[in-house]
Structure 1
Amino acid sequence: MNSVLAALRAAFTFCLVALNTGIHVPILLLFALFKLVLRFRAAQVGLTRLLMAIAASWIAVNSALMRTLTPTRFEFEGLDALKDGGWYLVICNHQSWVDIPVLQMAMNRRIPMLKFFLKQQLMWVPVMGLAWWALDFPFMRRHSREQIERNPALRGQDIAATRKACAKFSYTPVSVMNFVEGSRFTPAKHARQKSPYRHLLAPKAGGVAFVLQTMGESLQALVDVSIVYPGGRPSLFDLLSGRIPRVCLRVHTRELPRDLLGRDYQDDPEFRARFQAWLNAQWQRKDEELEQMLQGPSAPG
């Protein structure tokens, strides 16, 4: 009976989220068409802000549905220091697809809209691919070290693509989001990596370094987010069906070291080693915080 009720709750919640998407996305795409045609700066700035407001409304309704229709207890700390203005780099551990709606719920209208670097192939996802394009989410075609070694002409294309994507953020505040592990945490991946951390995969420094190289002078702060699910890593079905007892999220707003901004990560070995040491130190601190969050008492909602 519990399984049937959970499935019915998930189906009902999903239908409402789909309805909300069906209402907001066509409006979003209509104004995105105007943005595509009206290329002068004033129109671009105004329409970008309007598109962000539509997206924030979509997120707010989805978040309200999750809070209202599920018994999940969402415990967020550190949000009072956030301000909805300015340019931010947001980093977070990554355990589940649930991380994204949880981050949106916590951050919506507290800081500028989160922008994720997406794989080029995701542009073709029905409906959402167009929405991500309209919202200026950066689509990246990243090249591995092995590919660059086989074809040296690819060297520098990643940073050029990142710079081009970040140029769209120059005239309106934005929060650039990066899951530093590059993949969702699983015990199998943790063991395969022989990760030195208890609750994290090893961080991948390249993505963060590229953002700091291209946008460093614009970014005002680092928003460091930690998420844990004391009942175990959930799925999106668990979220929709109300099978997640608690979600704990903690935010720290930190200054970005000025000596790490605007530097060449790819071709400067000394800086690359220093940057990796800095990021590893952040990750060690996060690992200890995740342990504390999992073991500690419940935080106020």
Structure 2
Amino acid sequence: MFVRIPLLLRVPLIYLLIAANTLIRVSVLLLCALFKAMLPIRLLQQMLDGWIIGLAEAWIGFNSWMMDHMTTLQVHFREDAVLDPQGHYLVLSNHQSWVDILVLQKVFNKRIPFMRFFLKKELFWVPMLGLAWWALDFPFMQRHSKSQLQKRPELAGQDIAATRKACEKFLGKPVSIMIFPEGTRFTPHKHAQQQSPLAALLKPKSGGMAYALDAMGQGLHAILDVTLHYPHGIPGMADLIADRIKHVHVDVRLRPIPDALRAGDYENDRAFRAQFQQWMNGLWQDKQQILDGFSRS
């Protein structure tokens, strides 16, 4: 019904609803987080944690409702496993657009534990959303560049320690940690600059995943390997709101986490790092084959 509204009216209505949904949900969420910080009573904090996650899931649910009823986007979804809302997952995906996050949230909302992303420390200062991510226990990371690490090798240890500390609160609880191993969105320029051997993917970076496995130990039980494909070209967020995206394909495969990748020293053991990178490259080669299959269909 809503897609019959002329785009000239529908687009500003979508923006208004997004703003209202974010303002209302995040305001209540932050109020719950404030009570949680002020009242250090374990049972009360656990109850408030449930409310905070519920508000976030409701925020995602409303965004997904708008995608279903105010755009003509069709999400073509296939998976090879039964998902568990009480599971312990590491979610990996290729990264093409900011739309990816909304699609992933739509596919997984309430079907697996609420997804947390590793965020750059600077994103804490994004108005409202930075505080919301903090209240939702998103891990904020201070990652150092290669040049910084070459000058001060001790900073590598600080990165690992910070990751472990950020993940401590997830141990023993249902959790989904989301990582984009490519580290950035795909563009033809970045692809050419990297000289990636894969036609539709950037080279995967294994450091973030290695840190997550090191920090979580046995707290993560499986990998959800996600491949996203937009058959009519990579869209922007404005394309979603203006109803210019008609289809997205989502392939989800449940993969075991090899025991050999849980216990190595990624920073200091060259053989282990090479083994980890080889395993990641294998995953990405499989992902390219999936994308090739989408392109042929």
- Which range, TM-score by smaller chain? over 0.9
Q: Which residue of 2 aligns with 1:299?
A: none
Aligned 1:102-251 pairs, distance under 5 A: 102-251=103-252
1:211-241 CA-partner distances (Å, limit 9, x unpaired) = 0111131101100001111011001011111
**CA distance in structure 2 between the partners assigned to 1:44 and 1:133 by the alignment:** 15
1:154, distance to aligned residue in structure 2 (A):
1.5
- Residues 9 and 242 of structure 1 are in contact (CA less than 8 Å); yes or no, is this contact kept in structure 2? no
Which amino acid in structure 1 is aligned with residue 58 of structure 2? S
* 1:73 alignment partner in structure 2: 74
Residue 254 of structure 1 aligns with an amino acid whose one-letter code is R
**Shift, 1:40, TM fit:** 4.5
Please give the alpha-carbon distance, in whole angstroms, between the structure 1 residues aligned to 2:65 and 2:267: 43
Q: What's 1:44 paired with?
A: 45
What is the CA-CA distance between 1:148 and the residue it aligns to? 1.4
- After superposition, give the CA deviation of every residue in 1:141-197 in whole Å (9 maximum; x if it has no partner): 101221011123323010011001101212531100000000000001001100010
| Greater length-normalized contact order (CA 8 Å, ≥ 6 residues apart) | 1
Indicate conservation of the 8 Å contact 2:118/2:140, yes or no: yes
2:262 alignment partner in structure 1 = 261
For the residues of structure 1 that align with 2:158 and 2:9, how far apart are their CA atoms?
A: 48
Aligned positions of 1:27-106 closer than 5 A: 27-78=28-79, 81-106=82-107
> Relative to structure 2, which stretch is displaced further, 207-216 or 164-173?
164-173
Mapped partners of 2:278, 2:154: distance in 1: 29
Q: SS of 1:216's equivalent?
A: helix
1:6-51, Cα deviation, whole Å (9 max, x unpaired): 4543221121111111221111111111221233443433322221
**Cα distance in 1 for residues equivalent to 2:185 and 2:67:** 22
- Counterpart of 2:190, as a letter, is K
- Identity of counterpart residues, as a percentage? 49
- With over 3 angstroms needed to count, the CA separation of the structure-2 counterparts of 1:7 and 1:151, relative to structure 1, is farther
CA distance in 2, matches of 1:8, 1:293: 34
Matched AA of 2:69: T
**In structure 2, do the counterparts of structure 1 residues 258 and 246 end up closer, same or farther at CA, with 3 Å as the change threshold?**
same
CA distance in 2, matches of 1:240, 1:176: 27
The alignment partner of 2:170 has SS state of coil
Q: Runs in 1 of length 4+ with deviation above 6 angstroms?
A: none
TM alignment of 1:7-26, pairs within 5 A? 8-26=9-27
Measured against aligned partners, the alpha-carbon deviations of 1:229-259 in whole angstroms (never above 9, x if no partner) come to 1011001011111110101111011111111
Partner amino acid, structure 1, of 2:145? S
Q: What SS does structure 2 have at the residue aligned with 1:18?
A: helix
SS at structure 1 position matched to 2:218: coil
Q: Report the TM-score, using the length of structure 1 for normalisation.
A: 0.93
**Distance in 2 between residues matched to 1:224 and 1:275, nearest whole Å:** 16
Q: Structure 1, residues 24-80: CA drift from partner, whole Å, max 9, x if none?
A: 111111111122123344343332222111111110011001110001111111176
Q: How many residues align?
A: 293
Say if 2:288 is the partner of 1:287: yes
Which range moves more in the overlay, 107-116 or 259-268? 259-268
Task: Classify 1:171/1:37 alpha carbon distance in 2 versus 1 (closer, same or farther; 3 Å).
Answer: farther
After TM superposition, the score normalised by the length of structure 2 is 0.95
Structure 2: which 5+ residue stretches go unaligned?
Answer: 1-5
Amino acid at match of 1:61: F
In structure 2, relative to structure 1, the CA distance for the partners of 1:14 and 1:239 (3 Å cut) is: same
Unaligned runs of 5+ in 1: 297-301
- Mark the CA change 1:268 to 1:80 in structure 2 (over 3 Å): closer, same or farther: closer
Spell out, residue by residue over 1:113-156, the C-alpha distance to the aligned partner (whole angstroms, 9 max, x if none): 11001111111111111110110111111012210111233230
Q: Structure 1 CA distance, aligned partners of 2:42 and 2:275?
A: 39
Structure 1 residues 43-52 or 26-35, which shifts more?
43-52
